[in-house]
Structure 1
């Protein structure tokens, strides 16, 4: 082994080099050599008066890059370490196999130190052969608690989990969440954002970052998201601003004569059941017609010259659509019977639907013109009916005679009277009805899912030989088994976006026959009121406790404090309307004739749903 100096022109890349894929970041390596010199010798063997590089291929390519940049010349001398050709294969493999990237924890510490002495990410990347984006990621992670960087160095913390922990800059909180989450990235992200609202949500985009900041709202940045993504730390501010903006828009529509206007955060669950109201169309004025002709001619000329996908066509098309939209209108007679539904889309835009409202429905007493806003959001409405379903299932499971009647009614309705399965309150296809709801909504109840109780009581029934085991059961156990299995198929859920129908009417009959006292099995927890809109809480107080109580609580600024006050003021054994027995009753004639495809069903049950919402 000897160190000699040779001209760059005498060097060649050896075919024996184990690294066959062309290495990346040659430009960065060249920058590093230009800044610091060749810190590590090339390793070569001699053959045919040339020196073949078998270790240091990236450095050799970087030197050739510097020749192109006129930073070095082919006649410049460089030190090389001489080896025999026999040694080349083994040593080339050993060098490449031993080389590995810097550990992320080391990179975080090293890059942070260089930043602290004044180097920016582009300098660090150029001098040390990394991409600038990689350096930037490591610098973001330097915001971690130093103890967590030590844990990362021991490979006891993943990079994804480390990224999630940067959602808080509090080192103590980072450590607490790391321990509580067992280092799971998705759990960390959920724990640090469960009381926050993403800035990519429809509500936040609808309100706008500036309006939120003007009210004192702060944002926790997500350092690893695209753009300026993050989380709003005060979601109640976002909700209040969104509701205020929606209410102002609704007032504008009421002012021009619409009979019914509703503005909600999410799309109304029963909107599909409302008939469309189509606008008329007027002829364009001379000015409008002339401009439309100009736009058509201009777009046609651009398409011929530049192609139909030219960027210049889009703004012209937008202007044309704006003119044609202005030609469509609703007259005073249509507004007098029409309704407007407003909501926030997922992209933050305003959703709108014009529909035929029922003029015979008058505004409820104490409600704003155009009808009151829904008390319960779609998802909460669905959860409340799931809780009610659980309680009724429990009662059916305890009453075998009722379970038998329910089963016979369902079979007779389908086989003798031609009813459809979706109109029945039980699923005879033996499909378990899911009644999962958030734990916080069950905090005040000890109701257990029927399937859990069945799994415990009848655990001894084998999968193989099940029929023989059931044949051998006592009549009492058979009836208990029947009751439990029928109970598991009973379903009174009104799904988010759905509308009560005949199935829910039948469910109310079952609930009434069971004799269950829903209020004895469940009472409203604080979480219920936390999930309701501020305006809905005030309306609820007005209905249940009177106007003075509602006006008194309307001055409470914090939504969480308002929820507590509403909870304390409501009468004992109060139940949300969707959970009351009989909530979805229909007159028998209308229930029998129920058609789920009708656009304009005029039923007492629909009135009940509007009142509860």
Structure 2
């Protein structure tokens, strides 16, 4: 015989005047959490009491009902109603919907309060998104939705951003096969097909971190913090029709620029405009690139110009900035953290002071026709212009004494060196130069080649012996050769066959030139380059007068360029 299933009886509900309700001391909620009482009161004032209170009759010592009711479940709602009464927005005797429990029930009042809070399930973020989306579809703005639900507009924007995620991925998230952090990572792209492709690629992988999802979705885009974007400017990129995608869920450094082809075109156009302006200064060549590899100026001679002094007005401005900087630092020296506006101002002052340190340089107008400049973009997106480099093939010819020939003529319009107006004709027969009949009898006949080799062999041995017996001269000769190779490049090579093979890095990241070591090497090279004489004889005299410590420092500098610890297959 089947056992009859015992039927349950639900508690009755009725309206009870608010002044007949008291908060139960058995309510388990002690710690404040969730929506504040003020916000809950505002919500009740706007929408009414959506959820009834659970109450039980208060009994006297004899077990008789007193007409009062205690509230074991719904304490926050009770306090919100109490606040509305204090604000005169609700009467003391206003009826409150209540579910009345049995005062003699076997279920304790503590259990009712505990279970009422434990059985409550928070709203799923996807359901919240769909509700926000439905409200916006009905004409509500993001700000209106935020105001109605007492949340920040940023929360509404974040939830509504989920509309860019593929419905297939939303279903996967609803089935708890994807975390909320992973789902939010997909919002950096609007391409549903690409989103699904990325999830398919990583869903069976051990690594499904949100940063990996963002990286895969943005691998064909350019970060707004990229030096190309900083150089062109995000506003200029957007004005040209470019699109930017931003991540509302975490710091994205300004987002991602979607059209890399457009960005590269804007960079090229801006660099070309700058190059045209620099070419008007009269340089022979301008070389333009987004960035140049480390050591790209090897083999070039850098012109020594004259730095333009600060004007009286510029000096006054610089001193005023320094005083303001020192005053702000002293004023906020005890502060744990600088206010945003002060921190921003200090940064602006530092940039302005740095600008005073980078002074323009004046060059000899006669050198413009043989030299050029490099135009590129620094790692921080700033324009970089390096002027005054002379290629070996553009160097002016030198005479026997090492000075420039006096027959060079500079075109006043182009600045280029022209050939002398009158040149002595050179007649060749069979590819060899011939002498004129008038000078044939008076010219010095060359020695036979065999005799020249024997004589110079004796001279070489004599020089070797003399050099080995005089270390000071040997050091001078070695330094002369190494410094000529390192700084001058065009000096006569002389008879000493000694060199340090300068090692360069053919394919390295553009950040290499900004490393501390690279900057130290370049600074040291430029510092010594300002002192090394460009004339061959002057270099001999300068080296002869140097003390031994300085000579050893120069030797270390030249030898350092031959260090090669690079690993390459």
Any gaps of 5 or more consecutive residues in structure 2?
1-10, 61-65, 396-413, 415-504, 514-551, 565-569
> For 1:33, which of 44, 47, 57 is the aligned residue?
44
Aligned pairs for 1:19-418 within 5 A: 19-26=29-36, 27-45=38-56, 46=58, 51-67=69-85, 69-83=87-101, 84=103, 87-128=108-149, 130-182=151-203, 184=208, 185-213=210-238, 215-222=240-247, 224=249, 229-256=254-281, 262-266=287-291, 268-270=293-295, 280=307, 282=309, 284-285=311-312, 287-288=313-314, 299=324, 311=342, 317=349, 321=353, 324=356, 328-333=359-364, 342-351=375-384, 357=389, 360=392, 362=394
d(CA) in 2 for partners of 1:597, 1:95 = 81
Residue by residue, what CA displacement relative to the aligned partner does 1:11-32 show, whole Å, maximum 9, x if unpaired?
A: 5544433333202322443232
How far, CA to CA, are the matches of 1:496 and 1:94 in structure 2? 62
| Number of the residue aligned with 2:509 | 496
Decide whether the 8 Å contact of 1:28 with 1:125 is kept in 2.
no
Q: Distance in 2 between matches of 1:193 and 1:245?
A: 25
Per the TM alignment, residue 342 of structure 1 is displaced from its structure 2 partner at its CA by 4.7
Contact preservation (8 Å) 1:121, 1:132: yes
SS of residue matched to 1:80:
strand
**How many Å apart are 1:117 and its aligned residue?**
1.6
* Residue 301 of structure 1: how far off its partner (Å): 12
Shift of 1:55: 1.6
Structure 1 length as normaliser, TM-score? 0.49
What secondary structure, in the 3-state scheme, does the structure 2 residue paired with 1:166 have?
A: helix
Aligned partners of 1:211, 1:323: CA distance in 2, in Å? 24
- Cα shift at 1:202: 1.9
Distance 1:34 1:187, change over 3 A: same
**Stretches of structure 1 lacking an aligned partner (at least 5 in a row):** 364-368, 370-491, 500-592, 606-613
Listed as ranges, the matches of 1:599-610 within 5 Å are: none
Output the CA distance in 2 between the equivalents of 1:319 and 1:349.
12
Contact 1:345 1:351 in 2 (8 A): yes
Q: CA deviation at 1:347?
A: 4.4
Q: 1:314 to 1:129 in 2, by over 3 A?
A: closer
The Cα of 1:289 is off from its aligned counterpart by 5.6
2:437 aligns with none
1:400-479 correspondence to structure 2 within 5 Å: none
Q: Deviations over 1:446-499 (max 9, x none)?
A: xxxxxxxxxxxxxxxxxxxxxxxxxxxxxxxxxxxxxxxxxxxxxx99643569
Cα distance, 1:248 vs. partner?
3.1
3-state SS, counterpart of residue 24 of structure 1:
coil
Aligned to 1:414: none
Q: 1:283 to 1:147 in 2, by over 3 A?
A: closer
- How far the C-alpha of 1:330 sits from its partner, in A, is 1.7
What CA distance in whole angstroms lies between the structure 1 residues aligned with 2:202 and 2:263? 28
Secondary structure of 1:142 counterpart: helix
Please say which of residues 231-240 and 306-315 is displaced more in the overlay.
306-315
Distance verdict in 2 for CA 1:37–1:21, change over 3 Å: same
**For 1:144-184, what per-residue CA distance to the aligned partner results, in whole angstroms no more than 9, with x for missing partners?**
34343222211123323333333443444544443344284
- CA RMSD of superposed structures (Å): 5.1
Q: Identify if the C-alpha distance between structure 1 residues 14 and 276 changes in structure 2 by more than 3 Å, giving closer, same or farther.
A: farther
Instruction: Give the distance between the partners of 1:131 and 1:214, measured in 2 at CA.
Output: 30
Measured against aligned partners, the alpha-carbon deviations of 1:361-396 in whole angstroms (never above 9, x if no partner) come to: 649xxxxx9xxxxxxxxxxxxxxxxxxxxxxxxxxx
What CA distance in whole angstroms lies between the structure 1 residues aligned with 2:151 and 2:559? Answer: 65
Residues 236-286 of structure 1 deviation map (CA, whole Å, 9 limit, x = unaligned): 22122213322433444454467886543246433799999897452533x
Look at both structures and tell me which one has the larger radius of gyration over its CA atoms.
Answer: 2
In 2: Cα distance, 1:300 partner to 1:136 partner? 40
The higher-RCO structure (CA 8 Å, 6+ apart) is 1
Label 1:283 to 1:343 Cα distance change in 2 as closer, same or farther (>3 A): closer
Q: 2:164 aligns to what SS in structure 1?
A: coil
| Structure 1 residues 116-155: Cα deviation after superposition (integer angstroms, max 9, x where no partner) | 1223334444545655433332222133343432222111
Structure 1 residues 289 and 157 mapped into 2: Cα distance closer, same or farther (>3 Å)? closer
1:43 to 1:153, Cα distance in 2 relative to 1, 3 A: same
Looking at structure 2, the residues matched to 262 and 256 of structure 1 have their Cα atoms a distance apart, in angstroms, of 14
Query: Residue 598 of structure 1 corresponds to which residue in structure 2?
Result: 557
* SS in structure 1 at match of 2:123: coil
Is contact 2:305-2:362 (8 Å) kept?
no
**1-side partners of 2:71 and 2:556: how far apart?**
78
Partners of 2:262 and 2:189 lie apart in 1 by 20
* Contact 1:205–1:348 under 8 Å retained in 2: yes
On the 8 A contact 1:44/1:52 being kept in 2, the answer is: yes
Using the alignment, how far apart are the partners of 2:351 and 2:222 within structure 1? 35
Give distance in 1, aligned partners of 2:372 and 2:307: 16
Which protein is richer in helix relative to its size?
A: 1
CA–CA separation in structure 1 for the residues paired with 2:115 and 2:146 = 27
